[in-house]
Structure 1
Amino acid sequence: MKKLIGLTTSIEEDKYFRRLTAPVKSHGLLSDYFDYIDKTVRTTLEKYATTEEPIEFLHKMHRLPFAVFMRLLIGDEVNQELFDQMFEEITAVISGVHNLPINLPGFAYHKGLKARKVLGERFQKLIDERREAMKDGKSMPRANIIDMLLSNTNQDYEANILSDKKIIEILVLFSFAGFEPVALMAIKAILHLQKHPHFLEKAKEEQEEIVKRRASSNAGLSFDEIRQMTFVSKVINETLRIATDQTVFLRDTSTTFNINGYTIPKGWKFFAVVWNIHMNPDVYVQPKEFNPSRWDDIETKPGIFLPFSMGPKSCPGSNLAKLQISVILHYYLLHYRVEQINPEARCYPPENCLVKFKKLSLSSDGN
């Protein structure tokens, strides 16, 4: 993975670039990009519904959050040719990470290494172009990741200028984590709701109530309405809880401690297996069941729900991810359903899962 992603940082460097990219979590940035997210979701789902042939669910859904990520990366419209090229390259890198590290032609890892080299060159070109534009005083329409990383000055950190190599590594890491989990979680939420019609209906009714409260029947989804999606938020939490079966966190012990009679010395590395945390029956009754309503009563304590890790190592894109999934579910619940074409295929995780998107007939509220 190190050869494909490349990022290794000291504690100070890690803190530093997390401070630089902190605006990604902010309410202001999310609201600034909301209209683009909303438009991208609407047009993408409509396109799926008008496609006669079945679609490979995960691969197609990847393109939706990747479009959002590319806009956030650059801050402006992305050339379609560049978009397609970078999508294929980062997809090859992700495939390489998920496969055995066999560096021979024909293997996913080998393809991933080649794609990583090309991806680095594309990021370098974007960095060079943006740096020249900044020298000329040209600003982008919106805050973006490349500008955040290029505007790196910090008197508390002696090596306060990130090298281009380090910036590229950060961009590759953000690319790796910036869209695949969003697509995966959105699909898993949809498939869970399909299997549990009573929860699907409850989530749909919530979206219909949001539509009814709008001042105009022509008004679209707004950023403020995301806060009204209380049940959908529970659907997302429950999906994240169940879906993190392969997630582990590598951490260092900051002090010596004892657990179940075993002494763990300071400085040792350990794996935190999220599945064991999220499947703890002392916290989650019947933990293997998909039940969004369990979040009505759960007292959220530190350490019991870690889909995005926690503390200073937590994912900087967590709020953006949940926002995108909320918008996807809003339009899906109101307007679409999926029909699985190959039910015999392994669809959890949803690899090679073929579906047809179907648009629902116009509802009585006109939406």
Structure 2
Amino acid sequence: MQHILHDSRRFMKTNMVAIVAYFVPLFLLPFSLYLFSIILRRSSDDRKKLPAGSRGWPVLGENLKFAHSPEKFVTEKMSKHSPDIFQTSLLGEKMATFCGAKGNKFLFSNENKLFASWWPQSLRKVLWFPQTNSTYNRILHRDVLSPEALKKFVPVMDALAREHMTRHWRPNTVVKVLPLSKIYTFELACRLFMSVVDPRRVKKIYDPFSEVTRGILSVPVDLPGTAYRRAIRAGGFIRAELMRIVEQRRKEMQRDFLSKMVMLRDEDGDFLNEKKICNEIIVMLLASYDTTSSAITGVINHLAQFPHIYNEVFKEQMAIAESKGPGELLTWDDIEKMKYSWNVARESLRLMPPAVGAFREATTEFTYAGFTIPKGWKTFWTVHSTHKNPDCFPEPERFDPSRFEGSGPAPYTFVPFGGGPRMCPGKEYARLELLVMMHNVVTRFRLEKTIPNEKIVYHATSTPVHGLPLRLHPHQK
């Protein structure tokens, strides 16, 4: 019996060795091929003259440095490596950052030639339906954000701004501008883009957006308890609510903005499906929640900070207000008279840009400034390489709206909305929103900062750390 057991163990041991000897190469072969492909890619990159720079830590790259202070990050990289272009690693991708007016011009001029739109996977997972993207549908923006549509938006913007002042500003002696700006811009987007005016339904969509924006900026680790997991859950809730609204509007076929969207056809002649429409609305709502509200906060911050600037804006806006009849709302013609106010807004956008730039993907290998950019690399343009560059704007830290008089800054230096074919389609919409809010604030109040030197940090957008608390001084009638 023992002899049989001994032979059995020896047989099993022999077979285990044979099995291991068989399967180990099967495992090592693909792993070895993977390592070999990495070495080949690296050696291929090494033979090319890539932009100077560093990629930071494995996996993390230089995300933390960039997120801490995008302006400082870009300025230091330009000084250390090149004023034209440098490489880094952001969001797990090899990234070539184009700098200066020449870099902006090159990127904007080669949209759809050398570059294609690119969004980080972590952001797509939070915001959009699986297997879909933000389509950046030219037909949609041509029809929905056309000059004719925008002209009709002005009275609606003014009416809601007046309601907003009555509800949130007038009852208080001190207000926090940033959270109130988010409420106004989000309510306006819901009203204009979806005809949603019920405060309870607006709040139902609004509340999850704070989770979404926090999660987008976090480390994209999808585990229970993480900010990213909460953002994914919040994004799913927002999409489900928007789908209900879109499906309802397709059935009702009212003559409003959203009904117009559901009737649009794409380049192939097909109706836009509900998921694509939801993606577009999410982008508009996110811009309203973050970038547009940040822009309004920046403008009001500078009006409170510089009394002489405020006085000139006040004179211009009061002249418009006094030309109106009792209760008469602003019109497109009134907006066109706000020349100085718009110069003030643009100077504010230069110093406190609501967004740092945008990503693209190289669709083919090319050279720029003597360096090779391989196909598949991601690219980035940034406002910080020109907005505070003394070569583009002398005394860049000085607030000076006169920079925008006459022909204004040199081309490709002032880029808060990007440029080229993919310039932000909401540029004109944002201009109207900024000017309408400026009008409603300065014609009602003088402004006093309760924290004169409040620090500005970057959390996706330029953000006053305390939300910009202001003491309001109502004008005497």
TM bin, normalised by shorter chain, reads 0.7 to 0.9
Q: Which residue is equivalent to 2:228?
A: 109
Distance in 2 of aligned mates of 1:219 and 1:167: 34
Judged with a 3 Å threshold, the aligned counterparts in structure 2 of structure 1 residues 320 and 275 are, in CA distance, closer, same or farther, namely: same
Which runs of structure 2 are paired with 1:136-215 in the superposition (5 Å)? 139-140=254-255, 142=256, 144=257, 146-154=258-266, 156-157=267-268, 160-212=270-322, 214=323
Among 236, 241, 247, the alignment partner of 1:128 is: 247
Matched, 1:353 2:467: yes
After the TM superposition, which of the residue ranges 308-317 and 349-358 deviates more from structure 2? 349-358
After the TM superposition, which of the residue ranges 332-341 and 228-237 deviates more from structure 2? 332-341
Distance in 1 of aligned mates of 2:138 and 2:472: 41
CA deviation profile, 1:118-142 (whole Å, cap 9, x unmatched): 11111111122112113xxxx23x3
Shift of 1:225: 0.8
For the 8 Å contact 1:336–1:357, the answer to whether it is kept is no
Q: Which residue is equivalent to 1:24?
A: 144
CA deviation profile, 1:229-288 (whole Å, cap 9, x unmatched): 101110111111122275122124467654433233566431112210222322211122
Distance in 2 of aligned mates of 1:346 and 1:3: 32
Q: Which residue is equivalent to 1:6?
A: 128
For the 8 Å contact 1:207–1:229, the answer to whether it is kept is yes
Q: Which residue is equivalent to 1:243?
A: 352
After the TM superposition, which of the residue ranges 190-199 and 62-71 deviates more from structure 2? 190-199
Task: Kindly provide the amino acid, as one letter, of the partner of residue 184 in structure 2.
Answer: L
Q: Which residue is equivalent to 2:200?
A: 81
For the 8 Å contact 1:339–1:358, the answer to whether it is kept is yes
Distance in 1 of aligned mates of 2:164 and 2:354: 28
Gaps spanning 5+ residues in structure 1: where? none
Distance in 2 of aligned mates of 1:200 and 1:218: 24
After the TM superposition, which of the residue ranges 202-211 and 58-67 deviates more from structure 2? 202-211
Judged with a 3 Å threshold, the aligned counterparts in structure 2 of structure 1 residues 153 and 224 are, in CA distance, closer, same or farther, namely: same
For the 8 Å contact 2:212–2:231, the answer to whether it is kept is yes
For the 8 Å contact 2:129–2:275, the answer to whether it is kept is no
After superposition, the CA RMSD in angstroms is 2.9
For the 8 Å contact 2:355–2:416, the answer to whether it is kept is no
Distance in 2 of aligned mates of 1:246 and 1:307: 7
Distance in 1 of aligned mates of 2:276 and 2:261: 10
Matched, 1:40 2:160: yes
TM-score, normalised with respect to structure 2? 0.66
CA deviation profile, 1:150-171 (whole Å, cap 9, x unmatched): 22324x427x344433332232
Residue 381 of structure 2 aligns to a residue whose secondary structure is strand
Residue 283 of structure 1 aligns to a residue whose secondary structure is coil
For the 8 Å contact 2:196–2:202, the answer to whether it is kept is no
Residue 413 of structure 2 aligns to a residue whose secondary structure is coil
Gaps spanning 5+ residues in structure 2: where? 1-122, 458-462
For the 8 Å contact 1:7–1:173, the answer to whether it is kept is no
After the TM superposition, which of the residue ranges 45-54 and 273-282 deviates more from structure 2? 45-54
Task: Kindly provide the amino acid, as one letter, of the partner of residue 350 in structure 1.
Answer: P
Residue 278 of structure 1 aligns to a residue whose secondary structure is coil
CA deviation profile, 1:196-246 (whole Å, cap 9, x unmatched): 22111111111123234x264664433211101101110111111122275
Which runs of structure 2 are paired with 1:61-100 in the superposition (5 Å)? 61-74=181-194, 76-100=195-219
Distance in 1 of aligned mates of 2:437 and 2:206: 20
TM-score, normalised with respect to structure 1? 0.84
CA deviation profile, 1:10-38 (whole Å, cap 9, x unmatched): 99x846x2312323332221222222210
For the 8 Å contact 1:21–1:149, the answer to whether it is kept is no
Distance in 2 of aligned mates of 1:354 and 1:247: 20
Distance in 2 of aligned mates of 1:23 and 1:245: 25
Q: Which residue is equivalent to 2:74?
A: none
Distance in 2 of aligned mates of 1:67 and 1:114: 22
Residue 21 of structure 1 aligns to a residue whose secondary structure is helix
Judged with a 3 Å threshold, the aligned counterparts in structure 2 of structure 1 residues 27 and 93 are, in CA distance, closer, same or farther, namely: same
Shift of 1:178: 3.0
Which runs of structure 2 are paired with 1:50-65 in the superposition (5 Å)? 50-52=170-172, 54-65=174-185
Among 264, 274, 297, the alignment partner of 2:373 is: 264
Q: Percent identity?
A: 25
Judged with a 3 Å threshold, the aligned counterparts in structure 2 of structure 1 residues 237 and 264 are, in CA distance, closer, same or farther, namely: same
Distance in 1 of aligned mates of 2:336 and 2:452: 35
Q: Which residue is equivalent to 2:71?
A: none
After the TM superposition, which of the residue ranges 33-42 and 335-344 deviates more from structure 2? 335-344
For the 8 Å contact 2:151–2:331, the answer to whether it is kept is no
Task: Kindly provide the amino acid, as one letter, of the partner of residue 43 in structure 1.
Answer: E
Distance in 2 of aligned mates of 1:300 and 1:267: 33
Distance in 1 of aligned mates of 2:406 and 2:306: 20
After the TM superposition, which of the residue ranges 222-231 and 242-251 deviates more from structure 2? 242-251
Which runs of structure 2 are paired with 1:330-345 in the superposition (5 Å)? 330-342=439-451
Count of matched residue pairs: 350
